[in-house]
């Protein structure tokens, strides 16, 4: 029962969108739509001002295409509990985001769920957060 | 003869001691004049400031240094606060422990709150959200959002920016990795996590992104003399402590967009701030923007910062140019550069005041649906 409650809380927290991007307008992405894609991590660019999670998605016909998810810079991701080592190349993952309006295979990152069930998004650090002394 | 020489030496030694003491007293008075005396008795000319005991004093502008006419109203308001605080609280290295504790990492809360009002829609900048804002506010000032009494040129330009943004055409100098600049970095959700480092003589604000640093001198100096001043991203800030409150006056700013969904200011902007902790983990900046070119009357707001007590909080003093992934498209829109893509481009940002003159004749196709309506501009 307790396990179910924890999972439910994690799902609720993961629905929270990441904060607005200061570096550029939100206009390239359609905030009214979401896409969810399953694939394998190709690369996780852990860079400023934005990080990019790139996954290879295989469609029903066996064709592979890359999707890029834009997120915040490393310091922000560390704070909310998304480490570069969490999403290494080859990791199976399901990623959700707001897609680009022009149909490009890219989206603004909302959350990722790894094959082992661990959720990465706003609040994924929550349970581990501690207060600094003093 | 020997006695006479001895007497002369004694007199010279005495005179030297007197001169040295007088000089030391004069330096002491000058260095503390601003903190200890009421504004109406300030000394004129440069003041000598030494950073540490034994260090060579450095000349800095005296407190009587004038400010340009366009900044006089805000400076008078600042000086009035200083007079009411009897010149301010004079902290020293010895009394540093009595200063408030602003240590740690701070993050902004809820964006700006101009006129103490936070409207959730005002924090968004996606096209649908901008259209909703624009539908709500077709003229300015607008209750619940932009309460600034904008002058016509600024209201027109702002309206045009909102229309373009509502049609997905939005470009921002932050996308060129330029600094956020003051007051945008204090009063809207930009600049990122930050440190506020205080000392008796200066306060340093150290932001995460894009060279967003600010220095506020509290050593009694005046502003940079007008003939040496030029527009700067952080401007020129001087201040004093009123107990636990840092009172700041800033001018010589670059004209910038205050945010994607806020108007631009001009190079005649000046700001008075009162910054204090309201509880052990909350810092509030009450700011008033003065800008005779942009505004009919001053515009006030509050920004709230919360101390980040997360064990994982980190201020990464990054360079945005490290992996900038945005460029301006041919229609002026923000285009995303995906991982692995490369383009060759020239980027330039035109600052707000430089395009004011073309406003009347500018026709933008994407804004035609709304632009054909006569703008309603408050010309009070």
Residue of B nearest to A83 (CA): B312
The residue among B210, B311, B321, B349 with the most chain A CBs within 10 A of its CB, best to mutate, is B311
Q: Give which of B177, B338, B347 to mutate to test A binding, by max A Cβ within 10 Å.
A: B338
* B189 vs A16, residue with greater confidence: B189
Assigned domain for A96 exists:
yes
> Pick from B302, B259, B261, B299: which is nearest to B137 by CA?
B261
The confidence score (pLDDT) of residue B15 equals: 55
pLDDT of amino acid B13: 53
Is the Cβ of A5 closer than 8 Å to some Cβ of chain B?
Answer: no
The tokens describing B300, both together, are 């006030």
Tokens linked to B210: 């894009």
Interface test with B, best of A19, A26, A72 (most B CBs within 10 A): A26
Residues B249 and B240 sit within 8 Å (Cβ to Cβ)? no
Q: What is the CATH number of the domain that holds A72?
A: 2.40.50.140
Q: Which residue of A has its CA nearest to B323?
A: A48
pLDDT at B275: 97
**Locate tokens 């002058």: which residue?**
B151
User: With 90 as the cut, is the pLDDT of residue A35 above it?
Assistant: yes
Q: A116 in a domain, yes or no? A: yes
Closest-CA distance, B280 to chain A, in angstroms, reads: 11
Question: In this predicted model, what pLDDT tens digit does every residue of B63-91 receive, in sequence order?
Answer: 999 999 999 999 999 999 999 999 999 99
Which residues 43-62 of A have a C-beta within 8 angstroms of B? Answer: 43, 45, 47-50, 52, 54
Cross-chain residue pair A27–B334, CB shorter than 8 Å: yes
Which pLDDT does position B41 carry in this prediction?
34
Question: What is the tens place of the pLDDT at every residue in A49-95?
Answer: 889 999 999 999 999 999 999 998 888 888 888 999 999 999 999 99
The number of distinct structural domains making up chain A is 1
CB contact under 8 A, A20 and B124: yes
- Calculate how close chain B gets to A78, using CA atoms only, in Å: 7
Residues of chain B contacting residue A45, judged by C-beta atoms under 8 Å apart? 323, 339
Let me know if A61 is exposed, middle or buried by CB neighbors in 10 A (0-12, 13-18, 19+). exposed
| Low-confidence residues of chain B: pLDDT under 70 | 1-44, 50-53, 110-124, 144, 188-191, 210-211, 343-380
Residues 6+ apart with CB under 8 A from B196: B102, B106, B203, B204, B205, B283
Write out the two tokens for B321.
């140019």
Q: Determine whether the interchain pair B336/A28 forms a contact, defined as Cβ–Cβ distance below 8 Å.
A: yes
CB contact, 8 Å: B127 with chain A?
yes
Q: How far apart are CA B251 and CA B272, in angstroms?
A: 9
| B186 interfacial to chain A (CB closer than 8 Å) | no
Q: Is residue A23 part of a domain?
A: no
- pLDDT of the residue at B99: 97
Average pLDDT over residues A86-107: 95
Using a CB–CB cutoff of 8 Å, tell me whether B131 touches chain A. no
Is residue A123 predicted with pLDDT exceeding 50? yes
**CB spacing of A26 vs B326 below 8 angstroms:** no
Nearest to B354 by CA among B267, B291, B269: B267
Assigned domain for A59 exists: yes
The full set of domains in chain B, from first to last, is 1-63 (no CATH), 67-380 (2.40.128.20)
Helices and strands (H and E) in chain A: how many: 2, 6
- B127's CB contacts (< 8 A; 6+ apart) are A27, B165, B166, B167, B168, B170
Q: What is the DSSP string of A113-124?
A: EETTS-EEETTT
Residue A126 has pLDDT above 50, yes or no: no
What distance in Å separates residue A13's CA from the closest CA in chain B?
A: 17
Give yes or no for residue A25 having a pLDDT over 50.
yes
Determine the straight-line distance between the first and last CA of chain B, rounded to whole angstroms.
87
Task: Quote the domain boundaries for residue A94.
Answer: 2-17+28-125
pLDDT score for A19: 55
Find where tokens 């509990």 sit: A81
Q: How far apart are CA B224 and CA B107, in angstroms?
A: 30
Pairing between β-strand B376-377 and β-strand B139-140 as defined by DSSP bridges: parallel
Q: Has residue A132 been placed in a domain?
A: no
pLDDT at B321: 79
* pLDDT score recorded for residue B140: 74
Strand B213-217 relative to strand B236-242, pairing? parallel
User: Which residues of chain B neighbour A77 with C-beta distances below 8 Å?
Assistant: none
Residue located via tokens 């399901």: A94
Kindly report the average pLDDT of chain A as a whole number. 80
Instruction: Classify residue A130: in a domain, yes or no.
Output: no
Is A76 contained in some domain? yes
Can you tell me the ipTM of this complex? 0.73
Chain A residues within an 8 Å CB radius of B124: 20, 26
Residue keyed to tokens 């005002």? B122
In a domain, A131, yes or no: no
Number of Cβ within 10 Å of residue B183's Cβ equals 25
């Amino acid at each position: 029962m307790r396990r179910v409650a924890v999972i439910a809380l994690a799902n609720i927290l993961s629905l929270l969108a990441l904060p607005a991007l200061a570096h550029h307008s939100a206009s390239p992405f359609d905030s009214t739509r979401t896409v969810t894609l399953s694939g394998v991590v190709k690369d996780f660019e852990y860079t400023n001002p934005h990080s990019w999670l790139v996954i290879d998605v295989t469609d029903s016909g066996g064709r592979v295409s890359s999707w890029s998810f834009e997120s915040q810079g490393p310091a922000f991701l560390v704070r909310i509990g998304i480490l570069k080592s969490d999403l290494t190349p080859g990791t199976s993952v399901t990623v959700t985001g707001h897609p680009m309006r022009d149909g490009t295979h890219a989206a603004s990152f909302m959350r990722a769920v790894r094959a082992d069930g661990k959720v990465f998004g706003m609040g994924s650090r929550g349970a581990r957060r501690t207060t600094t002394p003093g | 003869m020997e006695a006479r020489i001895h007497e002369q030496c004694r007199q010279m030694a005495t005179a030297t001691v007197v001169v040295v003491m007088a000089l030391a007293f004069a330096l002491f008075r000058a260095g503390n004049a601003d903190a200890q005396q009421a504004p109406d008795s300030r000394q004129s000319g440069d003041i000598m400031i030494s950073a540490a005991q034994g260090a060579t004093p450095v000349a800095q502008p005296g407190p009587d240094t004038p400010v340009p006419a366009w900044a006089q109203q805000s400076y008078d308001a600042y000086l009035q606060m200083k007079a009411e605080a009897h010149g301010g609280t004079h902290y020293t290295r010895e009394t540093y422990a009595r200063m408030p504790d602003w240590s740690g990492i701070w993050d902004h809360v809820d964006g700006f709150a101009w006129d103490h009002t936070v409207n959730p829609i005002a924090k968004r900048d996606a096209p649908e959200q901008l259209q909703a804002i624009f539908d709500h506010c077709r003229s300015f000032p607008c209750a619940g959002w932009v309460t600034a009494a904008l002058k016509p040129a600024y209201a027109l330009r702002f309206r045009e920016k909102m229309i373009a943004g509502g049609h997905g055409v939005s470009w921002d100098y932050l996308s060129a990795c330029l600094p956020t600049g003051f007051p945008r970095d204090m009063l809207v959700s930009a600049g990122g996590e930050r440190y506020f480092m205080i000392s008796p003589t200066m306060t340093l604000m150290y932001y995460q992104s894009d060279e967003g640093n600010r220095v506020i001198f509290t050593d009694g100096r005046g502003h940079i003399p007008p003939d040496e001043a030029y527009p700067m991203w952080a401007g020129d800030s001087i201040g004093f402590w009123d107990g636990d409150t840092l009172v700041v006056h800033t001018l010589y700013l670059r004209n910038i967009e205050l945010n994607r969904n806020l108007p631009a200011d001009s190079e005649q902007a000046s700001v008075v701030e009162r910054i204090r902790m309201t509880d052990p983990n909350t810092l509030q900046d009450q700011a008033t923007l003065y800008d005779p070119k942009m505004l009919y009357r001053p515009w006030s707001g509050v920004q709230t910062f919360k101390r980040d007590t997360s064990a994982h909080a980190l201020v990464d003093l990054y360079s945005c140019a490290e992996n900038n992934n945005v460029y301006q498209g041919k229609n002026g829109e923000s285009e995303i550069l995906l991982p692995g893509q490369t383009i060759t481009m020239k980027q330039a940002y035109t600052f707000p005041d430089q395009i004011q003159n073309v406003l009347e004749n500018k026709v933008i196709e994407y804004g035609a649906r709304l632009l054909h309506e006569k703008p309603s501009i408050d010309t009070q």
